[in-house]
Each structure stands twice: as structure tokens, then as C-alpha cells.
Amino acid sequence: MNAGVRRLLRLCAPILLLCGLASAQDPATCTQDCPAPYVPNAFWTTQYGPAAANVVLSPTNFLACSSASYALCYYSGPDAPPKKKRGIGALPALPCNVSESDPGIADCRCYAESGTSYVDIHSIRNTEAYIETIRVCGLDGAKCRNLVTDELPGKAAEVLGVTPPALPTAPVCSYLQADADGKAPMAPDAELVSTFSFARVKSYGIQQTDCTATAAPYAGCMTASCTFERDAKGKPTGFATCRCPIYSGPFQVGQAGASCDAGSGNVWSAAYAPPSSGSGTSGN
């Protein structure tokens, strides 16, 4: 066995193991003790890192979901709000502070939104949700509703090379929905879950800042557990606090002209789209 084959097997081993676990249960989704008890997804979901790395390889990686609430952490990072952009009002401060009690976690202030959002299939931090989802949607998400089929239906055939059939909703979407106790199954104590959407594009634009020259810590907020921010009277403020795992590596920030350094005690909520992936979008 040559060195190239051995390296490929090492990279694929976690995925092969997960696929083996997934095939042990039939039909395609959880049928007993559902949702399954939470187990953190520690496998490398791509060759670039584990779920916490928030790696994006293709637009189809973003699975389309609809939920009553989700957190949008794509713009979180420094303590200070970004400078006011022309034609819009002042933007809020959305800090991601490294936790004093756990340096591997960042407590990030994020927008609380509702409606359609997208989950990066490589960043599903709940093991059962990940297994269910790759079984139905494939490793790249192309077999389920995704960013291409939902946002670019007229160009789906051009992007994918074929005309997509009617696709199912990804199993992971059910993990975003709060139950009768107000908790989302994605993670313990989650009132809502961090995903990605275009809800704030008019305020922030779609440009990114490349921070890939040197590996550095960032918060991989995709599918992180979040709680609603409330005022002194207990009313929701329109924001959420998310506990995001910190990962060290190259990354992109979802704002133009941003400093890659989020400031002392802070990290950016970010993701990594390798140059060859051609995704054009990295979400967190």
C-alpha cells in the first residue's frame, strides 16, 4: 500500500466509521429514544478539521431549514460595534468573549432571528444529528434542500450540473425546533441554535475578510447552543448568547475590511472555506 493510499484511508476513517454507525439503524432517521441523548461530534468531518472548525467545501453543504428561532452569529467578534455604514442605522456590539471558566469556549452575542436558515453539514456538533443527516443528504448535503436549490433555483442545474429533483428537508432541521419545554434537541439547554442566513446582508454586505495567512483561534459557532438575551423585565431583546467552541486555524470573517484580530479576550465567529472549494460563502 503506497503512502498516498494510506493517507487517504486515514482521512476517510472517521467518515467510514460514521457511515457504519448510520447504517446500523433503519429507517433513515431516529425511531426510538428520539432525539437521541446528546453526544458531542468529535470526528473530523472533513480533512481540514472537526465540526468545530466550521469548514465549507461546497454551497450544497448549507442545508436549508425553517425554524421558529435561530441565532445568527456570522458578524460577532470584537467588543466594539463595526463602523456605521452608509445608508443604514448604527450597528450593535456583538462581542465574542473567551470564557474565563473555559478557554475553549467563547460566549458570543448574536442576532436572534426566525425563518429560513442554513446548517453547514460539516459543522453539526450533535453526533446523532450528524449521522442521520449524512445518511439522508450525503456527505456534501446535495441530496437534501440546500443553499443552491433554495436560493438559486433557476441556476441549480448550472451549478450542480443536473436539474435537481424535489429534495427532502435534512434531518438536522428537526434538531433546531424547540420542544414543549422550550429546548432545542441540538444541545443541552439550547433555547435556539446558531445557524447561517442572509437576514442581515443589507446592513453588513456580502464581502469577507481573509484571515488565512496564519492559523489563529476563532469561534466555530455553527450549531452552537444558545439562549435568548432578556432585559431586566425578562423580555427578549432580539439577541442571543451562544456558547461557541474555539478552534485554531485559517478562517474568513463575514465582514469587509475587518481586522483579523478581534481584540484582547475576544475571537471572531468565523468559518473556513478552502480556496479550492469554490463555495463563495462561509457561514458560522
Per-residue pLDDT of the chain (284 residues; tens, 9 = 90+): 444 433 333 333 333 333 333 333 333 455 555 566 789 998 899 999 999 999 999 999 999 999 999 999 999 999 999 876 656 678 999 999 999 999 999 999 999 999 999 999 999 999 999 999 999 999 999 999 999 998 876 665 666 666 667 899 999 999 999 998 899 999 989 999 999 999 999 999 999 999 999 999 999 999 999 999 999 999 999 999 999 999 999 999 999 999 999 999 999 999 999 987 545 556 66
Residue 272 lies in a domain: yes
Q: Is 58 helix (H, G, I), strand (E, B) or coil?
A: coil
Residue 119 lies in a domain: yes
Domain count, the chain: 1
Residue 282 lies in a domain: no
Residue 114 lies in a domain: yes
Residue 284 lies in a domain: no
Residue 283 lies in a domain: no
Residue 152 structural domain = 3-277
Alpha-helical runs (H) found in 68-207: 127-137, 147-151, 156-160, 201-204
Residue 78 lies in a domain: yes
Residue 268 lies in a domain: yes
What is this structure's pTM?
A: 0.82
Parallel, antiparallel, or unpaired for β 105-120 and 96-98?
antiparallel
**Do residues 243 and 273 lie in contact, with contact meaning Cβ atoms separated by under 8 Å?**
no
Q: Is 159 helix (H, G, I), strand (E, B) or coil?
A: helix
* Cell numbers describing residue 187: 444541545
